[in-house]
Structure 1
């Protein structure tokens, strides 16, 4: 890389480091996502509520449920309070029937959500609506508990909502009001119209508690001023001696399986490490990705064509019908084979030679004598037929093959 390229590289690296420094020190935005999940410490998580719940009630009586209610209630040993908390809790018909049957046996169904299934509202003769924000431009809402045993004159405030739900119609003969909500101006704590937002109603041998203000169990609400007393007042309607099945299935912020890349992108440090790696790879491709040397071509070694040449010459002899010359070559090649591999002198072919050859080649003396009779006959012949040549070749190859696979004694 030349001097100019190095300057550009250093300048680019400094810019990247500066951008990373600014991003790292940038104030993190507050996450207002309504998760209502017990492991979230964001404003609309329920980490503080769940922590206080374990202190107020016996920790052994708080049981997390991650399965759908229809599946969970197939266990007949489940008895106590089934607590639902989320921005929306919408049961299907079969699931709601299962829950109502379970409640009627003497259990408590507690639902805290701004949006609830219509069928359960119809079952309890309830209807919901939204509080009008007319003359409430600051979106400030006042909340009060209606229990006579509590400080029901105390007003609790909530500011982080564009609207809140309330019960527009209730069955006053069967329904007990737990809390109310109303509009309020910033400087006016006296309100004229109060709307019911939490009720309790008997159902069979059990009871149903519905609260349309799920924000009451969030970190932001509980830690604001003295709002924790309002949340404690809502919890006072639960039986502390019975198990509380805390639903984690109907949760906007429930834990889910995540890919490794999601984990990298979620953590700021790992996210920037991943980005820097990609930027570094890009710079490598731009400045150092080219080959510094031309690729060296692969030169294949020359093939040994001796065998092919020999076969070609042999085919020429064979096709031309010159069987006598081929026979002489074949005999000489066989004698050379005996001298090289069996280490015998072939100048004199006598009984001693036959005996030694048959012993070393793992062939019988009769076979050896028969082969050399054929060799002697063809060596003295001036005209050799194609059939005689082929017979001699087969005899020699058979004789040689015995020497390759038989074990010498």
Structure 2
């Protein structure tokens, strides 16, 4: 049975452990200001979006997931309506603004609550969304309405805002200040444009869940929206979530929207990369190191010689020594070793290049060993010395 891959098991255990830790760990409060109408986090706007139909006395509020230009040219709302933008930065190009101006000029209303707005919008309407220097930051700065019927004696405090944002008015006619901060700087204005109005608000945080639910400033957003007439209302989500809603989102888009899934996705990708690097190559059994065959004939000769020496069978050893040496001469020089006579001696001396007297002494020892009845240890040593000397010389 094939063993399970240890790398895959490790990856699976790691992913499961991470999922369990993420599932059971306490969820920290997410203070990210998304302003999205489906976010329940403190700085989402789900609560306001759900209350808006009753405030506008409408059966429902339509969510817009298109750029301003596309929505106003493709939809062309029938009758008068409100168009609401609540976001961190209101972004619109020339085509968007041209259609938005046309929409309001025909008698509709547009509420924009954002910290950052395009200069082209401000120039056309006579204001500028500005910021004080960081040294003027004041989270305790209070906001209030100008209208005595809406004004709160103690004002409204938004502690999560640094109080640096305000609106600078560049013209006198056609602009009504609806709200100011404690520095008497405008933060909420109404600009008449044709038959309709622009409502410019510089504190989108005031419309979020945190300040709308169970907070001393919970009625601020309701009062601000009371300036809009009870008409059909369009709520923009394109500025915050793009074109696609939850039903149209791809799997990856949904994964990116969930921090836990995002980290799980990264973990899986990194694990697969490590698997490819360390275990993706072909797996096979380790090939053992095979040493080349050794020539053991010399060892065998030494072992045999040692055996004979230990048994002191000098005669047998000497005769085998002569026998093997003569066999070597036959193979090396092609000599006939049947007669170890004078002719054999001269031929061996000529072919081996040894002096004749040294060759004659070696042949004499060989001949005597063959003729002797028994050979002693001395005879063996003498014969072996002569043979070794011959081999070393040639």
The TM-score with structure 1 as length reference comes to 0.56
Greater CA radius of gyration, 1 or 2?
A: 2
Q: Corresponding residue for 1:235?
A: 225
Q: Corresponding residue for 2:342?
A: none
Deviations 1:306-348 (A, max 9, x none): xxxxxxxxxxxxxxxxxxxxxxxxxxxxxxxxxxxxxxxxxxx
User: Against the structure 1 CA distance between its residues 79 and 16, is the aligned structure 2 distance closer, same or farther, given a 3 Å change threshold?
Assistant: closer
Instruction: Give, in whole Å, the separation in 1 of the partners of 2:126 and 2:54.
Output: 35
User: Against the structure 1 CA distance between its residues 291 and 169, is the aligned structure 2 distance closer, same or farther, given a 3 Å change threshold?
Assistant: same
Q: 1:132 offset after TM fit, Å?
A: 4.3
Instruction: Give, in whole Å, the separation in 2 of the partners of 1:71 and 1:273.
Output: 34
Is structure 2 residue 195 aligned with structure 1 residue 205? Answer: yes
Q: Corresponding residue for 1:302?
A: none
User: Against the structure 1 CA distance between its residues 167 and 15, is the aligned structure 2 distance closer, same or farther, given a 3 Å change threshold?
Assistant: closer
User: Against the structure 1 CA distance between its residues 111 and 135, is the aligned structure 2 distance closer, same or farther, given a 3 Å change threshold?
Assistant: closer
2:235 is aligned, of 246, 266, 284, to 246
Aligned positions, number? 278
Q: 1:269 offset after TM fit, Å?
A: 7.3
CA contact (8 A) 2:167 2:187 kept: yes
Instruction: Give, in whole Å, the separation in 1 of the partners of 2:117 and 2:15.
Output: 50
Is structure 2 residue 261 aligned with structure 1 residue 260? Answer: no
Residue aligned with 1:119, SS:
helix
In structure 1, list runs of 5 or more residues that go unmatched: 183-192, 295-409
User: Against the structure 1 CA distance between its residues 14 and 40, is the aligned structure 2 distance closer, same or farther, given a 3 Å change threshold?
Assistant: closer
Deviations 1:32-87 (A, max 9, x none): 33321111112221111101112322343522222222222232625311112211
CA contact (8 A) 2:56 2:232 kept: no
Q: Mapping of 1:306-317 within 5 angstroms?
A: none
Q: 1:262 offset after TM fit, Å?
A: 5.3
Instruction: Give, in whole Å, the separation in 2 of the partners of 1:95 and 1:13.
Output: 49
Residue aligned with 2:59, SS:
helix
User: Against the structure 1 CA distance between its residues 60 and 122, is the aligned structure 2 distance closer, same or farther, given a 3 Å change threshold?
Assistant: same
1:222 is aligned, of 184, 198, 212, to 212
Is structure 2 residue 184 aligned with structure 1 residue 194? Answer: yes
Instruction: Give, in whole Å, the separation in 1 of the partners of 2:10 and 2:77.
Output: 70
Q: Corresponding residue for 2:44?
A: 45
Deviations 1:182-205 (A, max 9, x none): 4xxxxxxxxxx2211000122221
Q: Corresponding residue for 1:140?
A: 140
Instruction: Give, in whole Å, the separation in 2 of the partners of 1:10 and 1:219.
Output: 44
CA contact (8 A) 2:65 2:237 kept: yes
Instruction: Give, in whole Å, the separation in 2 of the partners of 1:118 and 1:16.
Output: 49
Q: 1:276 offset after TM fit, Å?
A: 7.6
Q: 1:125 offset after TM fit, Å?
A: 1.9
Q: 1:23 offset after TM fit, Å?
A: 4.8
Is structure 2 residue 90 aligned with structure 1 residue 89? Answer: yes
